[in-house]
Structure 1
Amino acid sequence: MVVLICALSSLFEGFLECALSIGKRVNGFPLWVIEISDRPGEEEAEPAFKYIGNVHGDEPVGRELLLLLANWICDNYKKDPLAQLVVENVHLHILPTMNPDGFSLRRRGNANNVDLNRDFPDQFFSLNEDVDSRQPETRAIMNWVRDIHFTASASLHGGALVANYPWDGTEDKRRYYYPCPDDETFRFLARTYSQSHHNMSLSKEFEEGITNGASWYPIYGGMQDWNYIHGGCFELTLEISDDKWPRASELPTIWEYNRMSMLNLVASLVKTGVHGRIFSLDQGRPLPGLVLVKGVNHTVKASRVFADYHRLLAPGQKYEVTALAPGYKPKATSIWLSEEAVTADFILTPEEAISRGYQLRSICECGCKRNGRILLSNLFGDTNAGITFALLFVVVFLCFLLQRRVRSNLSKQRQSSSRRSVTVSV
């Protein structure tokens, strides 16, 4: 469980930065997370992003860059548009070091000398299925992802210069390109980082400065694939420095090379993709359902409290997006996703209500077939029929008013007026 340790550690021009503990490492000391938001410690109807550094103890550059990132955002809020966009529209979490024990020992593994990026459950092979056998740092990340509905994330590594995306392994352990269902979206996210970097996209080893993990070298038990499969979280593995242990004097340059990449990757959660909320027609309440995209074998869950969803997709294409929930009729809409984000809110109708509607319509149709020549005035002449007709009219009118109310609430709850909006209902 994520524990809020410090309700207010810093106050910067109207927003809060909090420190959280997500668990403990081998030696029992907390793993600290920096939370940056205009409402830290609260769940909001906006996407959440996490950065993790120092997964490997001998790759410390990431921890330094993440501390610099937190400071930069705090210092530039209300001064820089990108910093303000991140603070006000994304719930950002930063874990500077996942492996502080390995860092202090200057080695890859943790205090138990276990490689934490091989310690997660694997989709192809039965690795680490026993919860008690996993390292405490691994369990902390897994519990963190279950507690917080992250839309995307990235871990920072060293030893190369490339943005790596799933899948990380193959079914037969051979090395070749092995795409996940959201391959196009992951390529877009990886390019977002690479092309914003000083020279990552100019790589002669990796085309565009990006690579599919299995095409580079397969690994198993990795954190990246686990996040996507079990957390619905789109995670990249970022190799940000060819030198694992550069001189301290080189850190300012490495920071400047990566700063815009780190910011643009977080901002992409707001600037593109399909976002919205799911509501029930009968009560107008948030409905935590699922969102599917035709042709992509991967579902995205809406949050439990606000039923907001954030579906990352590569821009420049037409998508058919469907919302569904148990006991409700699915609704679909077609969206052309350009460079800007699209808001698509869904109002789902209970199957029970649909069934009642079919029964009433069936009765009406049968009556019309048998008595096609009966005038409307005769219908009101029959007392029972008149009552039925009046009740039906009232129900239809109430449904109309409810739809207007739901749509009115949706318009007030839109996070960004610049997004194109679609409401899918009855």
Structure 2
Amino acid sequence: MVMKTNLLSFLILFASTISSSLAKGSLQQTLLPSEEFNDCSNASRTRHLLENESQAQISVDLAQGYMSNDDLEWAIKEFGQRCSNISRIYSIGNSVNGFPLLVIEISDKPGEEETKPAFKYIGNVHGDEPVGRELLISLANWLCDNYLKDPLAKFIVENVHLHLLPSMNPDGFSLRKRGNANNIDLNRDFPDQFFSVNDDEDSRQPETRAIMNWLRDIRFTASATLHGGALVANYPWDGSEDKRTKYYGCPDDDAFRFMASIYSHSHYNMSSSKEFLSGITNGAAWYPLYGGMQDWNYIHAGCFELTLEISDNKWPNATELPILWKYNKMSLLNLVASLVKTGVHGRIYSSADGKPLPGSIAVSGINYTVTAGKTLGDYHRFLAPRDKYEVVATMIGYKSKNTTIWLDDGPVTLDFVLDPEVSIKESVLQNVYDCDCNSKSTQEFVQFLWGAHLEVFFILIVILGFLLFLFRRRAKIKVPTSRQLSGSKKTVEV
């Protein structure tokens, strides 16, 4: 009998040990399992398990303490009223079930077009990963409350246009499932560079189309989406052309690694991960996916986007939200601030009339182009700190210019003044060709030039040429032989 009792006790103890080992990581479990994931296939299987959790595990009780969709809408609108001096609220569209996709813009001049860069955060891409929507409301409230007290808050408000979309998938949240109301994974619904899926825009989900139209309206420099189920900052590419799990870097791999490291090292414990070196990972090396929003942003919108996994548990207990905010707060702030604390920024002008040009900026050795704004000609090029870069500005109809910059000591402001390719002589000829040659007066003038008065016309040309020669020679004499060097400035103009 004693033997049976001991055996029963052992089985109960063994079962409880197995149960606790299978439980999802909580905030007390700050690090992932100690064994290294040297085999990429292991990391891939881990990601599959996280993404295909049984929906039965997501109970209605888990939503207790989280804002409902109605609560979220009220919180956004209330914030807009309370912080109207540095914010505006707008919608980019509606979900399948008609819930508005509301955005909070935070800036000292919200809604105005300026030469400041724009950054966006998107939460709740997957309906069963709701931590992001809570953290973005916390971020907005912290900036509002500390704008006049904290230097970092003031820096962000005055130097960046920050846009926060707390929930991209409100229907999935209310249904407690990963996909939207049509059961579509929104992070697989974007056009893909390797495989022609979702090329028909009309076939995409309304939430996907809303994001794509949003980026057509606003020229974002960088962005990040907030997910759950791991603790890592993920960067492009998210897939590879042969679908293999392997490191597959984009042209700006150095810049993305630096960008991901900013978030990871500002986080409470992300950088000390034992699964991901320094708490960052290339997407394709971790788990290849296709139709993702991250790669689409970089390819089609000129926007450097990260995918941030910010909690080991997809749907942690609401009591852990304050701790998650504490762990992610500085990461969220520093990533936005890095937009203007590094890289090269400036404007492109025409030397002919001084007007801004919507030209392009390229960096030698990096196969990627950033486009300047159509109205102000401003550009923002995110780059990792390095000894030097060669920056090239181009514009159709203008001569390109290039210069070398050093980024080892903060950002560089670099303005380009481009010269038109068309010469004065060509402009005169163009004006003649563009004239209304059907008019009677024009025909008579042409007949006069090419008729009997051709010799007189030739003599006039020679005289005008001689006078022009004398004028130019006199102008050269008046040019001083030396010039005064101005003091050093942050803004460089070439």
Which TM-score band applies after superposition, normalised by the shorter structure? 0.7 to 0.9
Distance 1:396 1:74 in 2: 59
Instruction: Say whether residues 1:320 and 2:390 are aligned partners.
Output: yes
Could you tell me which of 239, 252, 273 is aligned with 1:203? 273
Structure number with bigger Rg: 2
CA shift, 1:289, in A, is: 0.4
Instruction: Say whether residues 1:247 and 2:247 are aligned partners.
Output: no
Indicate how the Cα distance of structure 1 residues 386 and 36 shifts in structure 2: closer, same or farther if over 3 A, else same.
same
What is residue 81 of structure 2 aligned with on the other side? 10
The Cα offsets for residues 372-412 of structure 1, whole Å up to 9 and x where unpaired, read as xxxxxxxxxx9545521365479999xx9xxxxxxx9xx9x
- Check the 8 A contact 1:11/1:17 in 2, yes or no: no
Distance 1:173 1:26 in 2: 31
SS for the counterpart of 1:246 is: coil
What is residue 102 of structure 1 aligned with on the other side? 172
SS for the counterpart of 1:103 is: helix
CA shift, 1:420, in A, is: 2.8
Could you tell me which of 67, 72, 89 is aligned with 2:137? 67
Could you tell me which of 187, 194, 198 is aligned with 1:128? 198
SS for the counterpart of 1:15 is: helix
Could you tell me which of 271, 274, 292 is aligned with 2:344? 274
Distance 1:323 1:355 in 2: 25
- Check the 8 A contact 1:121/1:128 in 2, yes or no: yes
- Check the 8 A contact 1:10/1:16 in 2, yes or no: no
SS for the counterpart of 2:81 is: strand
Tell me which amino acid in the other structure corresponds to 1:272.
T
Instruction: Say whether residues 1:389 and 2:464 are aligned partners.
Output: no
SS for the counterpart of 1:149 is: coil
The Cα offsets for residues 199-250 of structure 1, whole Å up to 9 and x where unpaired, read as 0000000000000000000000000000000000000000000011111111
SS for the counterpart of 2:105 is: strand
What is residue 29 of structure 2 aligned with on the other side? none
SS for the counterpart of 1:211 is: strand
The Cα offsets for residues 93-152 of structure 1, whole Å up to 9 and x where unpaired, read as 000000000000110000001000000000000110111110000000000011100000
CA shift, 1:317, in A, is: 2.7
What is residue 366 of structure 1 aligned with on the other side? none
Unaligned runs of 5+ in 2: 1-75, 428-461, 481-485
What is residue 15 of structure 2 aligned with on the other side? none
Distance 2:289 2:152 in 1: 35
Could you tell me which of 90, 110, 118 is aligned with 2:160? 90
Distance 2:100 2:319 in 1: 29
Which structure has the highest strand share of the two?
A: 1
Q: What is the number of residues matched between the two proteins?
A: 378
What is residue 28 of structure 1 aligned with on the other side? 98
Q: Percent identity?
A: 68
Distance 1:396 1:43 in 2: 43
What is residue 214 of structure 1 aligned with on the other side? 284
Distance 2:222 2:308 in 1: 13
SS for the counterpart of 1:10 is: helix
Indicate how the Cα distance of structure 1 residues 103 and 396 shifts in structure 2: closer, same or farther if over 3 A, else same.
farther
The Cα offsets for residues 24-53 of structure 1, whole Å up to 9 and x where unpaired, read as 110123210001111111111110000000
Unaligned runs of 5+ in 1: 358-381, 401-407, 412-416
Distance 1:354 1:322 in 2: 25
The Cα offsets for residues 29-86 of structure 1, whole Å up to 9 and x where unpaired, read as 3210001111111111110000000000000000000000000001000111111111
What is residue 112 of structure 1 aligned with on the other side? 182
What does residue range 237-386 of structure 1 map to in structure 2 within 5 Å? Answer: 237-353=307-423, 384-386=464-466
Distance 1:169 1:16 in 2: 39
Indicate how the Cα distance of structure 1 residues 355 and 76 shifts in structure 2: closer, same or farther if over 3 A, else same.
farther
Indicate how the Cα distance of structure 1 residues 346 and 172 shifts in structure 2: closer, same or farther if over 3 A, else same.
same
Indicate how the Cα distance of structure 1 residues 391 and 136 shifts in structure 2: closer, same or farther if over 3 A, else same.
farther
What is residue 169 of structure 1 aligned with on the other side? 239
* RMSD of Structure 2 on Structure 1 (CA): 2.5
Distance 2:474 2:247 in 1: 60
Distance 1:284 1:393 in 2: 27
- Check the 8 A contact 2:86/2:157 in 1, yes or no: no
